[in-house]
Amino acid sequence: MKRTGILVVNLGTPDSPTSKDVGVYLREFLMDGRVIDIPFWKRWLLVNLIIVPFRAPKVSLEYQKLWLDEGSPLLVYGKALVKKLAGYFSDDVTVELAMRYQNPSIDVGLQKLRKAQVDEIIIFPLFPQYASATTGSIAEKVMTIVQRWNVIPSIQFVNSYHNNEQYIQNFADKIKQDMLINEPDHILFSYHGIPERHLDNMNEAGTAWCSHTGNKCAFCSARKPYCYRSACFETTDLIAKKLGLDEVKYTTSFQSRLGKDPWIKPYTDATIQELAEKGNSKLLVVSPSFVADCLETTLEIGEQYRDLFMEFGGTEFHFTESLNADDNWVRTVYALISEKMGVSPDGSDTAKRIRFPSDLNQMAGPN
């Protein structure tokens, strides 16, 4: 019987909300050449002498606000998701959680799968929209580790699922509930931003893949899954279609920019100010690029952007919680991984390896 290892990977989290541990996390994160793509020596000076000394104490205070008794929300939700996901598989499928930065590390997760003597490994990044700094970085780290193994099993990556119908439905269901309760004037889809040059660098020939303007990026029609900005707009459009939203009732923007270099636009803070000044008094914000609530959703959106909206005339601000470890989302992850495993819809190919829940046919949720 073939043994399969599944590694579910998120970005990362400090081991504790102390300034010291936050600094360790930030150093590992920001020293990744796919995150800050400048020469190593410049990156080392920038991260170690400027960013970490000044940001670690401030970020530590932010983590202290959202830290749970069991640890970081990102870790708590990740453990809950993996525990539920493992329940769908038999004993010859091993499911592990890993973080790209800090703990539990990708190295430790892969070693556990290696110890289980798996014949194949499926890497599932918790990033629906592909980006070099997230999914790409995870793939690079995995390959760097396994290249040292004498026996390298088959390895597959779930690189992008930004337009997967079940993922779209999961967010649409959550937003629909908030719409019924809060009756917003406008819905803002806010995605994590990346520097514009990351899109330009997608084309090895040196010509920009993305025009950075409009809803669709130039030259992306053939490679949309790997154009982050275009994928985000497509996710928004698909969710909006599920909800039956008119185009004037929703907007897409990008948050969390760092430094002075231009990042992909429109910026979330500027968009929120514009929406308030145009007379939208009740705003609902959702971030489909984050499948687990974290500092960027709970605090950046839930506090900073709320205060900004109120400052410019808004009266009600709400944000939709992420998918976290919701049962419907777990079923979606299960379905995406099963597809990589070559499982047929009825489970006939690997019936002994998969435990199909009685409500599998309803896993996508209501239409």
Which pLDDT belongs to residue 323? 98
Which pLDDT belongs to residue 343? 74
DSSP state of 323: -
Which pLDDT belongs to residue 360? 42
pTM: 0.90
> Is 339 exposed, middle or buried (CB count within 10 Å of its CB: 0-12, 13-18, 19+)?
middle
d(CA 300, CA 292): 14
Helix (H, G, I), strand (E, B) or coil at 57: helix
Residue bearing tokens 């609530």: 293
d(CA 351, CA 347): 5
Which pLDDT belongs to residue 234? 93
Task: Give residue 256's region: left, alpha or beta (phi > 0; psi -120 to 50).
Answer: left
Which pLDDT belongs to residue 202? 61
d(CA 29, CA 22): 10
Which pLDDT belongs to residue 217? 57
97, 104 contact by CB (below 8 A): yes
357, 85 contact by CB (below 8 A): no
Which pLDDT belongs to residue 173? 98
- Output b/e per residue, 244-268; b: 16+ Cβ within 10 A: ebeeeebbbbbbbbeeeeebbbebb
Amino acid in the structure at residue 120: E
Residue-range domains of the chain with CATH: 4-16+67-159+326-362 (3.40.50.1400), 165-319 (3.40.50.1400)
Query: DSSP string spanning 213-246?
Result: -SSS-TT-TTSGGG-HHHHHHHHHHHHHHHHT--
Distances (CA, A) of 200 to 115, 147, 196, 210, 344: 40, 29, 7, 6, 38
Distances (CA, A) of 165 to 43, 93, 338: 39, 25, 15
Amino acid in the structure at residue 285: V
CB atoms within 10 A of CB 187: 23
Q: Which mean pLDDT values do the consecutive 10-residue runs of the chain (367 residues) have? A: 94 97 98 95 96 96 95 97 95 96 98 96 97 96 96 95 97 98 98 89 51 51 69 95 96 90 94 97 98 96 97 97 98 96 59 44 37
d(CA 190, CA 248): 16
